[in-house]
Amino acid sequence: MTRPLRERDRLLSLGTKIVIGLVLGIAAGLFFGELCRPLKVVGDTFVALLQMTVLPYIVVALIANVGRLSLARGRTLLGRAAVVWLLLLVAGLCVLLFMSLSFPDRAVPSFFSARLVAPPEPPDFLAFFVPTNVFQSLVTNAVPGVVLFCICVGAALIGIPNKDSVIRGLDTVGEAIARVNGFFIGLTPYGVFAIAAAAAGTMTVAEFGRLRGYLLVYSFTSLILAFWLLPMLAAACTPFRYRDILRTSSDALFTAFATSKVLVVLPMMIDRTRQLFREGEAEVPETAPCIDVLYPLAYPFPYLGKVLTLLFIPFAAAFVGRTLLLDDYPGLFGLGVLSLFGGPLLAIPFLLELNELPSDMMQLFVLSGVYTGRVGDLVGVMNLVTFTIITTCALTGFLRIRWRVLGLVLGVGAGLVLAAGASSRAYLDTVKDSYQRDKILAGMHLQSAGDTVEARVVERPEPNPVRLRPGQSRLERIRERGVLRVGFNDDNLPYAFRNGRGELVGLDVQMAHWLARDLGATLEFVPFERGSLAAQISADHFDIAMSGLVGTLARSQKMKLSEPYLEATFSLVVRDYRARELGDAERLARSGSLRVGILTESQFTRALGFLAPRAETVIVLSTRWYFEEAHDLDALILSAEAGAAWTILYPGFQVVVPTRHKIAMPMVYALPDGDEDWAEFVDFWVSFQKGMGGVGRLYDYWVRGETPGGRSRRWSVLRNVLGD
């Protein structure tokens, strides 16, 4: 059917160049490592150049091609496009359903990390699809709104008698934009090289081991859809052969994979699909307008490349030992497809919460997106190509369904799905997850040796062996003895706790080392319990208590409190599946009698009383007790900063901030009453550390989990093998 053309050699040459650029880029990244980082600017520039022409092309092509249709033809196009789209979507969801069953049902450790982040704003579907300002939609790349505007303008042109001159002008502009885009497409091999080199030189794959189950099943599913089911469905229903369809989509596949942008290859797909119909002698006057309309019309909808991300929900369920029943899948797929109009980053958190899965899993989803986003774009390109070819043939009279071939395609596809699913399940059943849930916190340590002093931990609390002389301040005693005694409680993540080697570490432990260093003293850490803090500090067990203490009115009456160095934000720590219920102020106020744990009485208790008047507060023994022991408590009042650190260890819990306005209390150090010299020195020292940025640096490491000095250098042949 397809005639050999000299132009095909040029197209294949471009595809070959793209592959060569991709391979050479990866090789350069592995060889030169971090030296390839500047190439990211080149890759970003290339992607921006491709994006520059896309939306203008969509505008002129849609208006012109819808405008030249008749009213009846437009109705037919939309009706048949909807049918083909739904059939392809159903076929893809069936594959997803069977591949989802590959994930083994077994209890495994929960996710390793948690960060307190602002929840994403719910998508404004009205603004997304109905633009009040089309120019704003163009600026923000709100493609559905732009498409709707263009369809409306094109539909209005249908009934205008003297529209030919307008359409010819739009065609001329479209041809000019297509030429510009064609020039940039010629640069694709070089852009792909820069993108691949920068990615291979700077990205690390160390954390991907924990995602192998998801990546394996995702890869199998993508390969089945992109290189068998979708192109073979097009071959079974149209005059074109399987290899013709692959050839048509090859350049777009490589470019979309390299750039991780389906949008930028729309003009390329339009051009290659037009050429396919010309070469296949299936071109009629209506062919080009149909192709020009169908691609931008279909792009804003959740194509199968996006729908593939729904595989993450069954993976997350298997990861935490929860089984999704077959009854759960209709709701998962139905709501999932609808929520994907707002994008995966909005859809996945919503679906995790809906299925009572730890919100911490979102971190793994983002991590996996480095790979899955690009593979999903392969499926997205093939989905759009298949949809456009089948729908165009249905509109132009070239639809030829070969039922025996179609049956063979579906049969072989089902066999591939079963084989891939069974092999994935068999492999994953043999894999042991070696992850330890406390791995991250266990590896945290005090900063460089120059910032620490000699220190020892006193096993039993006891008064300072050197008593104060009459009229002597603690500042004088510290300088004379050369020892600073600091009270600590190691149940205070991330301020004072034991790491994996049993060392006492944390933000306040580091601050204690700094204070001792500035005093020219060594350290003695003396343990205290929350209930005995006032008595111990009065009995001179330590000079200062530094252990994640929140300044309360009750404490201010029993001891001297330093100037605040941080803030503690009111929050509740709840089980993940109750986050929606207890994380909303209105729903919390309507809740029945709640039992809420609290470590010490504070103004946070009063804040809870305003939010949930019927709530009962219960003093708990320790923070760890709440997470590890059986109890009937609904929540624990804890600062959001500390709660986020605890949910690293216990990812089945989540930090929620149900208040409409931020409620915060000062974090302070506790000092003995009556020693003004010592109190003034500590206040000045705290102000000094805040002003010099020391507190901020420690906050970034211990609370936000940022590695000092940024990422470690990536392995490369040049540095690690050749030693340059």
Closest CA relative to residue 600, chosen from 631, 634, 574, 636 = 636
Give me 435's structure tokens.
């992850």
| pTM, 2 dp | 0.59
In the predicted structure, residue 281 carries a pLDDT above the cut 70: yes
CA distances from 353 to 518, 586, 680 (A): 48, 18, 49
Whole-angstrom CA distances from 62 to 127, 150, 154, 291 are: 20, 6, 7, 10
Residues 11-27 have a mean pLDDT of 74
From the list 580, 96, 100, the residue with the least C-alpha distance to 324 is: 100
DSSP E strands, 326-463: 455-457
The answer to whether the CB of 358 falls within 8 A of the CB of 654 is: yes
Instruction: Quick: pLDDT tens for 344-363.
Output: 766 777 777 777 777 667 65
Where does the pLDDT of residue 195 fall: very low under 50, low under 70, confident under 90, or very high at 90 and above?
A: confident
- Which residues are paired to 665 by β-bridges? 568
Which pLDDT value is given to residue 341?
64
Query: Which residue segments constitute the domains of the chain, with CATH numbers given?
Result: 6-430 (1.10.3860.10), 440-564+667-703 (3.40.190.10), 569-664 (3.40.190.10)
629 Cα distance to chain centroid: 31
pLDDT band for position 55 (50/70/90)?
confident
Q: Bridge partners of 619?
A: 598
CB hemisphere CA count around 570 (13 angstroms): 20
Answer whether 253's CB lies under 8 Å from 223's CB. no
Q: Tell me how far apart the alpha carbons of residues 670 and 548 are, in angstroms, rounded to a whole number.
A: 10
Q: How many angstroms separate the Cα of 92 from the Cα of each of 329, 607, 719?
A: 14, 49, 45
Report yes or no: 207 and 215 within 8 Å, Cβ to Cβ: no
Pairing of strands 455-457, 522-527: parallel
Angle between helices 361-396 and 212-224 (to 10 degrees): 0
Cα separation, 444 vs 436, in Å, equals 14
Q: Across the chain, what does the average pLDDT equal?
A: 81
Q: What tokens does 310 get?
A: 């729904």
pLDDT higher for 344 or 541? 541
Which are the contacts of 104, defined by CB distance < 8 A and separation ≥ 6?
A: 213, 318, 425, 428, 429
What does the pLDDT look like over 652-711, one tens digit per residue?
788 888 876 778 899 999 999 989 999 999 999 999 999 999 898 898 888 877 766 555
